[in-house]
């Protein structure tokens, strides 16, 4: 069914972006069919949280301030005087509490609660979420809009939370595909910062997994300056994906927006800022003007009638604008990603790998 293909595609994207989803514990989730995206996220969070509970919920130090009958931590002298705590034989103390009520667990509990209240989730997955909530009794539920997602820190002891926080963020930011009227197209593209990051991370991870010979990575491009002029105020040029093969380099910039074309009255044009961006990347990377650096703007398809599909030679370098339709069968999506590498292999026989199924499997590069 087309609807399930769309949801399956999102699961595949998540599987590339987060290595955890390719582990055996998520095999059942990968094989299951979902009627809507809320149910998919609920299943992933339920499975991942259950595994985290077995390992033990992460604890972190949190600052606390209380009026206590004895000393704990540091005495807050000014606050103690204000409260006249000496006459009550108590002190206002501040201390660090090693608690399960950490920002990561707060986000997890809040996302589970939101899916239970508002998500169109199967009874089976709701039951799994409810069964997990008692483990979070000491964790506060907070508004998901109050969470500073970029401020969450990860280290060796809580690295297993990274994928779960990614799913919780997608749930929180309201960029879920709509399930109304039987459609699963993305509803709030303009709010899709989390989905934009997922799209970018998926494409990079795909090339790392299947085309590692092209050394996929995000790179910084230095400005092609011809003098020792002041440079500290120049903006940073960082690519989403850079692929290289010998002396050839391909720069891919992913675009996940609510529109891919500009419309002025009856005229439809490419978005000029995007063209200027990829052109600047390519020309500053190709400092010797060899023509062996190319650029691709890779858009996620919207419902627009006209979408980008063009190849140009601008100033001696190839610039392409392509559209990736995430509503297509997964094999078509991977074929298009494979075909983008063709420019790197001019004069060589290039064949695509078989990626029609789930992302699990050996590296095909």
Do 52 and 86 have their domain in common? no
Do 133 and 83 have their domain in common? no
Do 226 and 125 have their domain in common? no
State the DSSP string of 275-327: HHHHHHHHHHH-TT--S-EEEEEEEEP-S-SS---EEEEETTEEEEEEEE-TT
Kindly report each contact of residues 345-354 with a partner whose C-beta sits within 8 Å and lies 24 or more positions away, as own/partner: 345/245, 346/248, 353/210
pLDDT band at 107 (very low <50, low <70, confident <90, very high): very high
The phi-psi region of residue 95 (left if phi > 0; otherwise alpha if psi is between -120 and 50; otherwise beta) is beta
Report the percent of the chain where pLDDT is more than 70: 80
Highest mean pLDDT range out of 31-40, 145-154, 193-202, 271-280?
271-280
Query: Angle CA(26)–CA(110)–CA(29) in degrees, nearest 5?
Result: 15
pLDDT for residue 192: 61
**How do 293-300 and 248-255 pair as beta strands?**
parallel
In a domain, 359, yes or no: no
- 244 or 156: which carries more pLDDT confidence? 244
Q: What is the pLDDT of residues 284-301, one digit of tens each?
A: 999 999 999 999 999 999
Q: With contact defined as beta carbons under 8 Å apart, do 115 and 37 qualify?
A: no
Do 116 and 236 have their domain in common? no
What pTM did the predictor assign? Answer: 0.79
Quote the number of domains for the chain: 3
Q: How many whole angstroms separate alpha carbon 322 and alpha carbon 330?
A: 17
Q: Among 36-45, 72-81, 105-114, 309-318, whose mean pLDDT is lowest? A: 72-81
In a domain, 356, yes or no: no
For residue 275, is pLDDT > 70? yes
Q: How far from the centroid of its chain's Cα atoms is residue 90's Cα? A: 49
Q: With contact defined as beta carbons under 8 Å apart, do 63 and 133 qualify?
A: no
Highest mean pLDDT range out of 7-11, 12-16, 20-24?
12-16
Structural domain ending residue among the three candidates 152, 187, 222? 187
Q: Domain range for residue 13?
A: 2-58+103-187
Sole residue written with tokens 């595949």? 12
Do 28 and 139 have their domain in common? yes
Q: With contact defined as beta carbons under 8 Å apart, do 332 and 321 qualify?
A: no
Do 226 and 90 have their domain in common? no
pLDDT for residue 22: 81
**E strand or H helix at 248, and its extent?**
strand 248-255
Do 277 and 331 have their domain in common? yes
- Average pLDDT, integer, range 126-138: 95
Q: How many whole angstroms separate alpha carbon 312 and alpha carbon 292?
A: 14
Question: What's the CATH code of the domain at 290?
Answer: 3.40.1350
Do 148 and 36 have their domain in common? yes
Structural domain ending residue among the three candidates 187, 221, 239? 187
Supply φ then ψ for residue 319, to 5 degrees.
-125, 125
In a domain, 250, yes or no: yes
In a domain, 318, yes or no: yes
pLDDT for residue 182: 35
In a domain, 363, yes or no: no
State the DSSP string of 54-107: HH----EEEEEEEEESS--SEE-HHHHHHTTTTTTT-EEEEEEEEES--HHHHH
pLDDT for residue 183: 39
In a domain, 352, yes or no: no
Kindly report the average pLDDT of the chain as a whole number. 83
* Cα distances (Å, whole numbers) of residue 363 to 205, 338, 357, 360: 11, 13, 14, 9
In a domain, 218, yes or no: yes
**End-to-end C-alpha distance for the chain, whole angstroms:** 31
Do 248 and 336 have their domain in common? yes
Do 250 and 211 have their domain in common? yes
CB atoms within 10 A of CB 111: 27
- Average pLDDT, integer, range 69-81: 63
Do 89 and 44 have their domain in common? no
- 140 or 364: which carries more pLDDT confidence? 140
Do 203 and 243 have their domain in common? yes
Q: How many whole angstroms separate alpha carbon 189 and alpha carbon 226?
A: 40
pLDDT band at 82 (very low <50, low <70, confident <90, very high): low
- Average pLDDT, integer, range 338-364: 58
Our separate counts of H helices and E strands in the chain read 10, 12
Q: What is the pLDDT of residues 214-228, one digit of tens each?
A: 999 999 999 988 776
For residue 26, is pLDDT > 70? yes
pLDDT for residue 75: 64
Report the percent of the chain where pLDDT is more than 90: 51
In a domain, 357, yes or no: no
* Cα distances (Å, whole numbers) of residue 56 to 46, 125, 135, 136, 235: 15, 21, 10, 11, 43
State the DSSP string of 41-69: HHHHHHHHHHHHHHH----EEEEEEEEES
Instruction: Provide the sign of the torsion angle of the four alpha carbons 67, 71, 74, 76, taken in this order.
Output: positive
pLDDT for residue 93: 78
């Amino acid at each position: 069914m087309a609807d399930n293909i769309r949801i399956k595609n999102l699961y595949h994207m998540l599987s590339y972006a987060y290595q955890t989803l390719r582990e055996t514990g998520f095999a059942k989730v990968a094989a299951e069919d979902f009627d809507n995206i809320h149910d998919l996220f609920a299943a992933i969070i339920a499975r991942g949280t259950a595994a985290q509970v077995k390992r033990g919920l992460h604890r972190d130090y949190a600052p606390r301030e209380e009026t206590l009958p004895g000393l704990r931590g540091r005495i807050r002298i000014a606050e103690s005087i204000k409260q006249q705590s000496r006459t009550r034989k108590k002190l206002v103390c501040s201390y660090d509490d090693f608690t399960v009520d950490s920002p990561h667990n707060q986000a997890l509990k809040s996302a589970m609660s939101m899916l239970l209240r508002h998500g169109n989730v199967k009874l089976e997955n709701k039951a799994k979420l409810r069964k997990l909530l008692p483990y979070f009794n000491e964790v506060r539920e907070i508004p998901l809009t109050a969470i500073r997602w970029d401020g969450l820190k990860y280290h060796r002891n809580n690295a297993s939370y990274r994928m779960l926080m990614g799913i919780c963020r997608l749930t929180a930011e309201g960029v879920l595909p709509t399930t109304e009227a039987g459609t699963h197209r993305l509803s709030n593209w303009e709010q899709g910062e989390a989905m934009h990051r997922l799209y970018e991370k998926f494409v990079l991870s795909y090339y790392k997994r299947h085309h590692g010979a092209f050394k996929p990575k995000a790179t910084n491009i230095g400005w092609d300056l011809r003098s020792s002029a002041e440079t500290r105020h120049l903006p940073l040029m960082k690519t989403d994906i850079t692929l290289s093969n010998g002396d050839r380099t391909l720069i891919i910039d992913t675009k996940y927006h609510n529109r891919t074309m500009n419309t002025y009255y009856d005229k439809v044009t490419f978005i000029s800022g995007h063209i200027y961006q990829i052109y600047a990347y390519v020309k500053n990377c190709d400092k010797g003007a060899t023509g062996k650096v190319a650029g691709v703007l890779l858009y996620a398809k919207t419902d627009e009638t006209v979408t980008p599909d063009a190849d140009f030679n601008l100033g001696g370098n190839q610039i392409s604008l392509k559209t990736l339709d995430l509503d297509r069968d997964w094999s078509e999506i991977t074929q298009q990603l494979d075909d983008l590498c063709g420019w790197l292999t001019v004069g060589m026989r290039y064949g695509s790998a078989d990626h029609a199924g789930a992302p699990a499997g050996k590296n095909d590069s």
